[in-house]
Amino acid sequence: MSVLHDVPTQQSPAPAVTPPPPSPRLVAAVVRGQRIAVPCPSWCVVDHSAENLADLPDLSHYGRRISLAVPQFSGDPELVLIAYMAQWPWATDEHEGRPYVALEACDSGDVTELGKRTGRAFADRALAHLAAFAALVDQLPEESA
Ligand SMILES: [Zn+2]
């Protein structure tokens, strides 16, 4: 009588494959009345063909806005933490043409620009605040249905 044992099959490790970087999406833009193709990030929602820019450095990319509706005692909820991706590819400011996250505390027009490190630091503080808020709510007695 022979006994068959489950012997794990040897598999050679899958070869490491690094995908090529995504090719930039090319879209039509209008500069001084001339249609040209420009790279546009996948998160951009701007219809560049609907603009007629004076110069190519005036071109900017903006993403979809997100916000948090906060209930108020009177009136409609207030939208806070309004944020979106943004990029001015030819800018020479602190972002040097790189994308950033634009953040408005409330709909006041006072926009700050956050890079990876400052944006992540703010997100961590906001998450801690929401966790503390949830802990407050969890102290409430259950509501009857
Ligand atoms: Zn764009």
CB proximity list for 53: less than 8 A, separation 6 or greater: 29, 30, 31, 32, 59
pLDDT of residue 18: 76
- What's the start-to-end Cα distance of the chain, in Å? 67
Helix (H, G, I), strand (E, B) or coil at 20: coil
The rounded Å distance from CA 67 to ligand 1 centre is: 21
The rounded Å distance from CA 23 to ligand 1 centre is: 14
Note the pTM of the prediction, 2 decimals. Answer: 0.77
The rounded Å distance from CA 99 to ligand 1 centre is: 11
The rounded Å distance from CA 72 to ligand 1 centre is: 35
pLDDT of residue 16: 74
Structural domain boundaries of the chain? 25-138
Please give the share of the chain, as a percent, with pLDDT higher than 70: 86
The rounded Å distance from CA 40 to ligand 1 centre is: 4
The rounded Å distance from CA 39 to ligand 1 centre is: 7
The rounded Å distance from CA 89 to ligand 1 centre is: 10
Q: Read out DSSP for 38-88?
A: EEE-TTB---GGG--BSSGGG--EEB--EEEEEP-SSSSPEEEEEEEEEE-
pLDDT value at 25 more than 70: yes
pLDDT tens column, 42-96 = 999 999 999 999 999 999 999 999 999 999 999 999 999 999 999 999 888 777 8
pLDDT of residue 12: 60
Burial class from Cβ neighbours inside 10 Å (0-12, 13-18, 19+) for residue 116 reads exposed
The rounded Å distance from CA 106 to ligand 1 centre is: 25
Alpha carbon 102 to chain centroid distance?
Answer: 9
The rounded Å distance from CA 62 to ligand 1 centre is: 6
pLDDT of residue 92: 81
Decide: 105 and 80 in contact? Cβ < 8 Å: yes
pLDDT value at 8 more than 70: no
Look at residues 48, 21, 24, 47 and name the one whose alpha carbon lies nearest to residue 36: 48
Eight-state DSSP code of residue 119: H
